[in-house]
Chain A
């Protein structure tokens, strides 16, 4: 038995390739949609947590802590298999996107909060003294500065979201991993799994390298500006 025939069988790979690409496309759609929705949710949560009235602040804090505690797989299974019992059936894509967004939103909220809290108090005071509203202060003064601080950790979080999309294969989402396992079953050969693993790495490696580079640069004393 040849290792190559078993794990890197080119015939099998060639036949599985279109399926893997279809899966990759689904994975990327799910990842992108969840990242964007998670960012929007995270920013809203961070605003509520920092500037909302007391009950909103408390709720935001509870939300953030709960969704950083719950295992994503558990949440996904609850949404997909338990919610139908109360009459709420979501498609595999909607279930996976909801779960990813809810959790990513909680992590993004903490990242945004840290970024906003890193902006000196004087920036808020100068804005207020000029008569800017709270919303204008955020959009024109604080967030443009905070963005520079939060981009590396947010990119990191986005990488995690893309990786976690693989969990969606347990609710029958035809994502990259699911397509690979099906192709493997069909061909009775694990090569498609190896292919899927390589595709994940090929897609995410550049992002990981980018984050490392940004973090090295930020660490190099750009903090003051």
Chain B
């Protein structure tokens, strides 16, 4: 069976160094997958390959909703269906919060200013930022910026949302507000692939947890299994190190 997101024999090399060493992964529609693993294990590289921000080695294949993620016309379709949230927010600093959210619907979908504005207002209300719509990203806290970034990605009504350590750049007191938004989102049936170090979130929200190390998927399964009773010694070492922090 192949998933809504299906990854086959995915390899990614930087020169002689292999960051991904053969990944096979299927994510079902509506599934929430959390990816954990030590720094440098290839988590970011993996999810950046899914919308091809990172080109990958020939021989590997990624499909989103059946469409192969290859350069060209199809890629635009895939990118419109796949939303991404970055560790460093990457909001557009020269646009107001509202215009950040409106930009892609207007340009990519050709929505009118009124339609895109109404959509932005709805999404900003949903992530709890409605009052800040006229401000610029630089005037917001980190947690608020990340919630705007989530609203901006949602504005394209994506089928899949990718998160690359969305709370790692935040002050601790702001982590909760972003995780709350993500938790709400998970309940709406959006397929989510989340790279995170928030084990509590993974335990609570994930349908499946994937542990990566050295460019491979080492272990995967339901959160209670992978986080509660890991089989692989490397998973145990990693969880031990994280939980003792």
Whether the pair B79, A145 counts as a contact (CB closer than 8 A) is no
The answer, yes or no, to whether B225 is at the interface (CB within 8 Å) is no
In the complex, which residues 119-166 of chain A have their Cβ closer than 8 Å to any Cβ of chain B? 120, 122-123, 125-126, 128-133, 136, 140-141, 144-145, 148
* Most B-side CB within 10 Å, residue of A125, A130, A225: A130
Whether the pair A131, B80 counts as a contact (CB closer than 8 A) is yes
Interface size class of A (residues with CB under 8 A): 10 to 19
Q: How many CB-defined contacts (below 8 Å) exist between A and B?
A: 59
- Chain A nearest Cβ from B136, distance in angstroms: 9
In the complex, which residues 89-148 of chain B have their Cβ closer than 8 Å to any Cβ of chain A? 90-94, 103-104, 107-108, 138
The answer, yes or no, to whether B193 is at the interface (CB within 8 Å) is no
In the complex the two chains form, what is the Cα distance from A225 to B91 in whole Å? 11
- Chain B nearest Cβ from A19, distance in angstroms: 47
- Chain A nearest Cβ from B209, distance in angstroms: 24
Closest to A144 in B: B94
In the complex, which residues 99-130 of chain A have their Cβ closer than 8 Å to any Cβ of chain B? 120, 122-123, 125-126, 128-130
Which B residues lie within 8 Å of A122 (CB)? 86, 88, 90
- Chain B nearest Cβ from A146, distance in angstroms: 10
Which A residues lie within 8 Å of B91 (CB)? 126
* A125-B90 CB under 8 A given contacts A130-B103, A131-B80: yes
Per-position 1/0 for A52-71, Cβ under 8 A of B: 00000000000000000000
Checking B86, B94, B107 against A126 with a beta-carbon cut-off of 8 angstroms, the contacting residue is B86
* A140-B103 CB under 8 A given contacts A130-B153, A133-B76: yes
Closest to B81 in A: A131
User: Which label, helix, strand, loop or mixed, suits the secondary structure of the A interface?
Assistant: helix
The answer, yes or no, to whether B208 is at the interface (CB within 8 Å) is no
Whether the pair B92, A123 counts as a contact (CB closer than 8 A) is yes
Which B residues lie within 8 Å of A126 (CB)? 84, 86, 90-92, 149, 152
The answer, yes or no, to whether B82 is at the interface (CB within 8 Å) is yes
Which B residues lie within 8 Å of A141 (CB)? 92, 103
Whether the pair B152, A130 counts as a contact (CB closer than 8 A) is yes
Closest to A136 in B: B107
Whether the pair A145, B94 counts as a contact (CB closer than 8 A) is yes
In the complex the two chains form, what is the Cα distance from A1 to B163 in whole Å? 84
The answer, yes or no, to whether B51 is at the interface (CB within 8 Å) is yes
Which A residues lie within 8 Å of B107 (CB)? 132, 136, 140
Whether the pair A128, B93 counts as a contact (CB closer than 8 A) is no
Which B residues lie within 8 Å of A132 (CB)? 103-104, 107-108
Checking A129, A131, A140, A145 against B93 with a beta-carbon cut-off of 8 angstroms, the contacting residue is A145
Closest to A126 in B: B90
Which A residues lie within 8 Å of B104 (CB)? 130-132
* Most A-side CB within 10 Å, residue of B84, B104, B149: B104
Whether the pair A129, B84 counts as a contact (CB closer than 8 A) is yes
In the complex the two chains form, what is the Cα distance from A159 to B140 in whole Å? 39
Which B residues lie within 8 Å of A145 (CB)? 92-94
Whether the pair A131, B90 counts as a contact (CB closer than 8 A) is no
Which A residues lie within 8 Å of B152 (CB)? 126, 130
Which B residues lie within 8 Å of A136 (CB)? 107-108
Which B residues lie within 8 Å of A131 (CB)? 76, 79-80, 104, 108, 156
- Chain A nearest Cβ from B158, distance in angstroms: 9
Whether the pair A225, B90 counts as a contact (CB closer than 8 A) is no
Which A residues lie within 8 Å of B92 (CB)? 123, 126, 141, 145
In the complex the two chains form, what is the Cα distance from A122 to B53 in whole Å? 11
Whether the pair A128, B79 counts as a contact (CB closer than 8 A) is yes
In the complex the two chains form, what is the Cα distance from A141 to B93 in whole Å? 9
In the complex the two chains form, what is the Cα distance from A130 to B158 in whole Å? 10
Additional A-B contact list (16), CB under 8 Å, known A126-B84, A130-B79, A145-B92: A120-B90, A123-B90, A126-B90, A126-B92, A126-B149, A128-B53, A129-B82, A130-B83, A130-B152, A130-B153, A131-B108, A132-B103, A132-B107, A136-B107, A136-B108, A140-B103
For the complex of A and B, list the 10 residue pairs with the smallest distance between their C-beta atoms, beginning with the closest.
Answer: A122-B90, A126-B90, A129-B84, A130-B104, A131-B79, A131-B80, A131-B108, A136-B107, A144-B94, A145-B94
Instruction: Write the residues of chain A forming the contact surface with B, with a CB cutoff of 8 angstroms.
Output: 120, 122-123, 125-126, 128-133, 136, 140-141, 144-145, 148, 225
Q: List 7 A-B contacts (CB under 8 A).
A: A122-B86, A122-B88, A125-B86, A129-B83, A129-B153, A130-B103, A132-B103
